[in-house]
Each structure stands twice: as C-alpha cells, then as structure tokens.
C-alpha cells in the first residue's frame, strides 16, 4: 500500500511535551542616533513545533520511528495538533467561517461561543490549516484568528475537536537514541506546510 500524505500521528504513545511557536515576519529598524524605531510588518505567519516523546520500549518506539522515516525528511507531511487542546473551551457546536486570503478578521456564523485560545481547523487533509482564536466570540460576527487565512474560505465549517494543521519535519535527518536499558528516546522539530 502506497504512503499517502498527510500522515496521521501514531496513537500508541502520546507526546510527553510539545513546544508550539507562532512565528511572525516583522522587522525593526532602529536609528543609531535617536533610537527611534520603525516597524515593518509583513504577511508571513507560521507555526513551528518541537515534539518530545516519553521513553519507550522498542515495540512502541518502532511505530514512531517508522512514521518519521515514512516522511522521507522534509518531503512528506503530517497532521499535528496541540494535545492539551483537543476540545475548545467555548460552547460552540457549529462554526462556519468566510474570509479572503490574508485576513485575520473573518466572518463567522456559529451557535455558542469560542474562547480566546481555542483552536479551529479550516479545510481537511492536505488543505487543513490550524488557527488560534484571539478574542472571545459569542454567536455570529467577526472572529479574530492567527495565522491569517492562507486562501479564500467561503462558508467553510471549522473543525473544533482535534483541530490540526499540516506540518513537515524541520530537518531531513531522522534520529532516535537507545539507552542501556533499551529505552528509546525520540524528539523532532516540525514546521507548518504553507503552499
């Protein structure tokens, strides 16, 4: 059976830690004489992550090692989510969004609420993008999200449970360690896929 991307994470062992980073493209120019600053904000916004798995025996580790090697370095992609935020904190049961490329304020039609910090997923499979809600939102209106929309979205139903985005490995090298008790150590970096 051929490997089809994006892959889903193995479920036999969960992550022991994940560091998620929201990266913005902003430049600052400082006058060497007055120290006045000029800020240049660009459209670039992306997710990055560092994932560490708990020590595990070979039977459990090989699922993860095979998963990582199946990505063939930066070539393949996988769906990644924040394991501490599988569910929203708000009460929304239905969230439908619309907006155009580059917008961070998008139109939302929903029942219930979304709380600042909730994640939503727009699209699915290789089209999935992960967004964080920046302000509490109750009912229909304007939803503030990060990162900005990567493409036009028209009446798209947002995924609010296990919201994921498409990522790739940050390195072409896959590595793992084995200690004298035959426990495997696995950690890897990832960056969001932006097309």
95-111, pLDDT tens digit by residue? 999 999 999 999 999 99
Kindly report the pTM of this predicted structure: 0.93
What's the pLDDT at 56? Answer: 97
Mean pLDDT of the chain: 97
List C-alpha distances in Å: 133 to 6, 105, 118, 140, 146.
Answer: 24, 10, 5, 14, 7
Cα-based torsion angle of the residue sequence 50, 85, 47, 10 in order, rounded to the nearest 10 degrees: 50
Per-residue pLDDT tens for 13-33?
Answer: 999 999 999 999 999 999 999
Distance CA 181, CA 195 (A): 43
Which is more confident, 179 or 1? 179
What's the pLDDT at 1? Answer: 75
Share of the chain above pLDDT 70, in %: 100
User: Average pLDDT for residues 121-130, to the nearest whole number?
Assistant: 97
Domains of the chain in sequence order: 1-81+167-195 (3.30.200.190), 85-163 (2.40.30.290)
C-beta pairs of 20-26 under 8 Å, 24+ apart in sequence? 20/47, 20/48, 20/49, 20/82, 21/47, 21/48, 21/49, 22/47, 22/132, 22/146, 22/147, 23/47, 23/48
Closest CA to 65 of 57, 36, 85, 166: 57
What's the pLDDT at 192? Answer: 98
């Amino acid at each position: 059976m051929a490997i089809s991307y994006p892959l889903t994470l193995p479920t036999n062992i969960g992550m022991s830690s994940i560091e998620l980073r929201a990266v913005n493209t902003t430049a600052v120019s400082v006058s060497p004489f007055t120290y006045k600053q000029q800020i240049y904000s660009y459209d670039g916004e992306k997710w990055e992550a560092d994932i560490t798995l708990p020590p595990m025996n070979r039977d459990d580790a090989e699922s993860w090692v095979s998963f990582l090697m199946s990505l063939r370095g930066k070539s393949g992609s996988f769906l990644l989510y924040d394991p501490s935020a599988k569910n929203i904190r708000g009460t929304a049961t239905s969230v439908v969004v619309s907006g155009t490329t580059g917008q961070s304020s998008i139109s939302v039609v929903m029942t219930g609420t979304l709380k600042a910090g909730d994640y939503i997923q727009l699209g699915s499979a290789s089209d999935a993008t992960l967004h964080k809600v920046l302000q509490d939102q109750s009912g229909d209106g304007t939803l503030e999200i990060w990162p900005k929309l990567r493409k036009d979205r028209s009446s798209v139903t947002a995924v609010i449970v296990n919201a994921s985005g498409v990522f790739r490995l940050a390195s072409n090298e896959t590595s793992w360690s084995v200690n004298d008790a035959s426990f495997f150590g696995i950690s890897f970096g990832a960056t969001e896929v932006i097309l």
